[in-house]
Amino acid sequence: MNLIKNPRFLKNLKMLYYVFVVGTIFATIVSATTTGTGTGSVSALSLSLCAIVGEIRTVIGILALLLFIAGGSLYAGAHMLPAAGNLRGNLQGWSLGMIMGGIVGIILVLLAPYLVNMITNLGGGTGYIGTCGQL
């Protein structure tokens, strides 16, 4: 009973979970590149990764746009507050954090095809995953 409440045990359990998830993803990629005959397995992996790139572009692109809008609105609203107190500075800090999150999201959207190409090359693929690498 005390073991479950131990924060060190919970931290180790969480780390074990992350290692399991990453290991499962890695095993799936490796098995997709090593099973099958010829280039069929590589093209199956490429199609799967191409679908992931499409999802990343859609979801992260929308989230980045929402972060830009919310951050800009919050920053503009913070300028209408009086300078006294910590609220104005806190709101400006949060809004700049949102805007930076949007910038990171746009960078991820732009780099996603190249990262997938790098993963495909590590698995022995042909190097270019097709039309999903184009903007």
Q: How far apart are CA 84 and CA 15, in angstroms?
A: 44
User: What is the sign, positive or negative, of the torsion defined by CA atoms of 47, 49, 51, 54?
Assistant: negative
pLDDT bin (cut points 50, 70, 90) of residue 73 is: very high
Looking at the predicted structure, is the pLDDT value of residue 91 above 60? yes
Find all residues with CB under 8 Å of 30, minimum gap 6, and list them: 123
Res 45: pLDDT: 66
* Percent over 90 (pLDDT), the chain: 8
Instruction: Indicate the pTM of the whole model.
Output: 0.56
What count of other Cβ atoms lies within 10 Å of the Cβ of residue 116? 22
Would you mind telling me the total number of residues written for the chain in this entry?
135
Q: C-alpha angle 26/114/59, rounded to 5°?
A: 80
Asked if 116 and 47 touch (Cβ cutoff 8 Å), the reply is no
| pLDDT, average across residues 69-92 | 86
- What is the predicted pLDDT for the residue at 69? 93
Residue with tokens 């990764």: 49
Which pLDDT does position 135 carry in this prediction? 44
Return the closest-CA partner of residue 129 out of 46, 15, 33: 46
What digits encode the pLDDT tens for the residues 53-65? Answer: 777 778 888 888 9
Average of per-residue pLDDT values in the chain: 75
Task: For CA atoms 75, 81, 82, 87, give the dihedral sign.
Answer: negative
The conformation of residue 124, written as its DSSP 8-state character, comes to: T
